[in-house]
Amino acid sequence: MEGDRCLSKEPNIVMGKGRLRVAIDGPAGAGKSTVARTVAKKLGYTYLDTGAMYRALALTAVTRRIPLDDPLLLGEMARSIQMTVRDDNGLFRVWVDGQELTGRLRDPGTDKAVKLLAMHRPVREVLVDIQRSLAKEGGVVMEGRDITSVVLPDAEVKIFLTGDVRERARRRWQELRAKGVKIHWEEVLEELIQRDRKDLEREWGKLVRVPDAHLVDTTGKTQDEVVAEILKLCEEKEIALHNR
C-alpha cells in the first residue's frame, strides 16, 4: 500500500502505516537507555533520552550558580535557555545555548545536582513541553520516569521496564568496572536503593506504573530478549492500528 513503511529490519515484522510513539519508564539501572536506543534503531525511529535533558539543565544550573533548591529561579533558567537535542545514531546529544554538554552529563557533580533539580515542578513543566513537541510527529522511543504517566499518556506503546534491584546493581557495577571505576558492589546497590526512593517519592513526575503500561521485567533476561519483547509489542500495536 502506498505510504506504508517497513516497521523494522527484523524479519516477519508487519508493514504498517503509523509512526508509533513508544514510551518507556522504569527505575535506574533497568537498562532503559540501551534497550530504548536499540529498539529505536531497529524501528528506524528517533531515540529520546529525557534523563539527559534533566542532566543538561542541572549542569547549566551548577555552572551558573543557581541554587538547586530555588524552584522559581530554576524554572526561569529553564524557560530562558535554548535546548537542542539530537539522536546521533544512538548517541543522544544535548546543547544548551549553543554549547554541547553531552560529554559532561554523567559527571559525579551532575549526578548529584540532577536529583535535586528534577524535584521542581517549574523545571519539569518546561521539559515536559519540549518533550511533547519532540514526539509530535511520532516515530520516537522516549525513555524516562514520567513518560507514560505525564509526557505521553496517550502513547501507542507504553512500557514499564524494571528488574530486581540486586541484578540492576550488579549490571551497573560491571559497567563501572569495565570503565575502570573501582567501587564495591554494596556501594552501587545502596546508591540504587537511594535513587529508587528518590524516584518514587518525588512529588512531581514520580515514577509510577500506569495501569495500561506493559510490564517488562529484565531479571534473568538478555538485552536481546528484552528488545525482542518490546519489538513484538510494537508489532502487535501496528497490526491493531492497521486493522482498525
**Cα(175)–Cα(203) distance, integer angstroms:** 31
Q: Which is nearer to ligand DC, 45 or 54 (CB)?
A: 54
Name which of 176 and 241 has its Cβ closer to ligand DC: 176
**Strand 5-6 relative to strand 15-16, pairing:** antiparallel
Which residues contact ligand DC by CB under 6 A? Answer: 28, 50-51, 54-55, 114-115, 118, 144-146, 205
| Residue environment code for 28-54, b if the CB has 16+ CB neighbours within 10 A, otherwise e | bbbbbbbbbbbbbbbbebbbbbbbbbb
Q: How far is the CB of 118 from ligand DC (least distance, A)?
A: 4
Cβ of residue 9: shortest distance to ligand DC, in angstroms?
27
Q: Tell me the closest approach of the beta carbon of residue 229 to ligand DC, in angstroms.
A: 20
Quote the least distance from Cβ 55 to ligand DC, whole Å: 6
Q: How far is CA 157 from CA 28, 111, 204, 232, in A?
A: 20, 29, 23, 11
Minimum distance of ligand DC from residue 115's CB (angstroms):
5
- By CB neighbour count within 10 A (0-12 exposed, 13-18 middle, 19+ buried), where does 11 fall? exposed
128 or 227: CB nearest ligand DC: 128
* Rounded Cα gap, residues 170 and 122, in angstroms: 35
